[in-house]
A and B are shown apart, each in its own frame.
Chain A
Amino acid sequence: MFSEFLQYLFTGITIGATYALIALGFTLIYNASHVINFAQGEFLMIGGMATVSLTAMGVPMLLAIVLAVVLAGVLGVALQRLAIAPAKNADVVTLIIITIGASIFIRGLAQLVWGKEYHVMPNFSGDEPIQIFGAVLNSQSLWVLGVGSVLVAVLVYFFTRTLTGKAILATSMNKDAARLVGIRTQVVLMLAFMVSALLGSVAGIVVAPITFTSYDIGIILGLKGFVAAAIGGLGSGMGAVVGGLALGVVEAMAAGYLSSDYKDAVAFSMILLVLFFMPRGLFGAKVVERV
């Protein structure tokens, strides 16, 4: 009984940590530009796929990971520079459609380069599972949690202790005021997309041994990350982390105790409940509208 519960909890926290990282990516871009970036999931796909194909070409694992992350970062910057920045005066809705176009484009490219098959990535440190109170923990789960915690700590440091991080925060609070004090908001936007792409690709790489990877894996992972961000309160970093973990755990419990067919419906029912009863999400800021 207890071991079963523990098993679901491990599964939930692992996938939840991935959702949290994706949600953080959404949050970053949303704060900086109010755009919901539907290409967010593609960064995960690029991270996982590039690592798999580079290692298959004989590149050492660590170097392959670094190259994959750099590739995703470049892609993030390119997305902002080439697709978002030129559409300066567009509606938010139009910008969202641009990110959808970008995600279809990136997915199409990945399909051309890597084909439609599923690719398997080996665990980072062996296939030997760890036994805890009768539950089995995949060693890769520890990697996901460890890397996730480090990334969150780095982000917290970045936003509270560095000037660049504070510049991004300032821009998200008030773009005009940020520009007045000398912050180059275009650079900040570019940075937000880059950091968000880096986060996504790292998440995609550490989770790839558990979920496998293919050219179209970004759609559903991206959406789950979006749901996690919305549950936490779109725009709140803390909310993204808590929302991601909560979503992962509830989803794993529902799949284990209720019905695995309806596992994906859990995420979407949760978002409706949150919207009905606490529309700003768990950690969303109170918004006062100036007229």
Chain B
Amino acid sequence: MMAQFSQFRLKGLVFLALVVFALPLFISNPFHYSLATQIALIAGAVVGLNLLVGFAGQISLGHAGFFGIGAYFSGIMTSNYGWSAIPALIVGAVGVAIIAWVVGRPILRLKGHYLSMATLAVGFIIAIILNNEREITGGPDGMPVPSFDVFGWELSVFGQYSLFGMEISGDLAWYLFAGVVLLVAVWLAQNLIDSPIGRALRSVHGSEVAASVVGVNTAKYKSLVFVISAVYASVMGALYGHFQGFITPSVASFDFSILLITMVVLGGMGSTIGVIIGAVVLELLPQLLADFQEMEMVLFGLILMLTMIFMPKGLLPTAANFLAKRRSKAAGGDA
């Protein structure tokens, strides 16, 4: 049973890798690459958030705050203090981990959805600080971020690179980098899920009382997974800033927090591939709806409502259920 489970997860990872590496065969324009890169980075943050939602049964309404700290810390340190991108990314993530631990530890001892209120508050406070500290963050107008560099080697959308003897454009290079980052993020998340920590987490989600009765320190595990999910957001935020080259406080906004949690719920809480589909759908939807201009907001709200009403488990689990039912029906017919 357990082996089957891991095999299923491996299949998901292989499937995702195929999609990521096959996509460049179908797209070539820089705008599409840019969109795909953006989706991959945001999907990485969503995979992290899903660990919290899907495996600890908690929701965060302020994850964009952590994403924003990652983006701004890396942006400020690399542009104003001459840091290299990697240490800036790591130090930013450590800072976010500390904030998440300080906030999560006392609140996750409580039962109920108190974490959602606390994260909402933390997210707002971060966004307000980013908006008001104009001298450091540029305020509502935002700030430029240097391109991503590793030991003096720079990754920029305007560059030209050679990979296995092939000449590739900066757009494609960034896309491939983001794709690999997403695959690593998924692989790490799946390892966590299959580890003893993951099992403890799933028991917390199933029944917190039962879990604590058999000796699982539920508060500790919930705080731990909250910290991990915040670090995911911070790292992806830092990369997102370097990729975009310019950030505004909207990366830390409440709207973006809501978008992230919606991606998780829409795609299917608890399903890693499902939440990535959620991210893809919700990032592409505004592009598709842009033609409707003034109707965009109405349609977006309507689609969100209808999907959740008729597929409360999310897109992927509902689709999988539907297929399984049809298959069993077909098998029943044959017999």
Contact = CB atoms under 8 A, between A and B. Distances in A.
Interface in B55-114: 59, 103, 106-107, 110-114
Contacts of B121: 227, 268-269, 271-272, 275
Interface residues of B, number: 45
B301 A97 contact: no
B2 interface: no
B107 A276 contact: yes
Interface stretch (A83-91, A131-139, A151-159, A163-171): A83-91
A269 B124 CA distance: 9
Interface in B250-304: 254, 258, 261-262, 265-266, 269, 294-304
Nearest to A220: B254
Nearest to B306: A101
A86 B245 CA distance: 44
A46 to B, nearest CB: 14
A58 to B, nearest CB: 26
Contact of A104 (B113, B209, B304): B304
Contacts of B308: 87, 90, 94, 97-98, 101
A180 interface: no
A264 interface: yes
Given A98-B305, A108-B297, A262-B132, A93 B124 contact: no
Given A108-B298, A271-B121, A83 B309 contact: yes
Interface string B221-236: 0000000000000000
B113 A92 contact: yes
B-side binding surface: helix, strand, loop or mixed?
A: helix
B301 A107 contact: yes
A276 B106 CA distance: 6
A23 B196 CA distance: 42
Contact of A83 (B113, B124, B266, B305): B305
A115 to B, nearest CB: 10
A87 B304 CA distance: 13
Interface in B126-143: 128-129, 132
B265 A106 contact: no
Nearest to A273: B121
Contacts of B295: 108, 112
Nearest to A215: B297
B139 to A, nearest CB: 10
Nearest to B116: A36
Interface string A13-30: 000000000000000000
Interface in A210-224: 219, 223
A258 to B, nearest CB: 12
A289 interface: yes
B301 A90 contact: no
B117 interface: yes
Contacts of B209: 289, 291
Nearest to B121: A268
A83 B116 CA distance: 22
A100 B112 contact: no
Nearest to A92: B113
Given A94-B308, A97-B304, A101-B301, A112 B294 contact: yes
Contacts of A112: 294-295, 298
B301 A264 contact: no
B261 A111 contact: no
A107 B296 CA distance: 11
A52 interface: no
Contacts of B269: 91, 93
B144 interface: no
B180 interface: no
B107 A104 contact: no
Interface of A: 36, 83, 86-87, 89-94, 96-98, 100-109, 111-112, 219, 223, 226-227, 230, 261-262, 264-265, 268-269, 271-272, 275-276, 279, 287, 289, 291
27 contacts: A86-B310, A87-B308, A87-B312, A91-B269, A93-B265, A94-B265, A97-B308, A100-B262, A101-B308, A103-B301, A104-B297, A104-B304, A106-B301, A108-B298, A109-B298, A112-B294, A223-B120, A227-B121, A262-B128, A265-B124, A265-B129, A271-B118, A272-B118, A275-B107, A275-B121, A279-B107, A291-B209
Given A94-B265, A105-B301, A279-B114, 4 more contacts: A91-B269, A100-B304, A271-B121, A275-B121
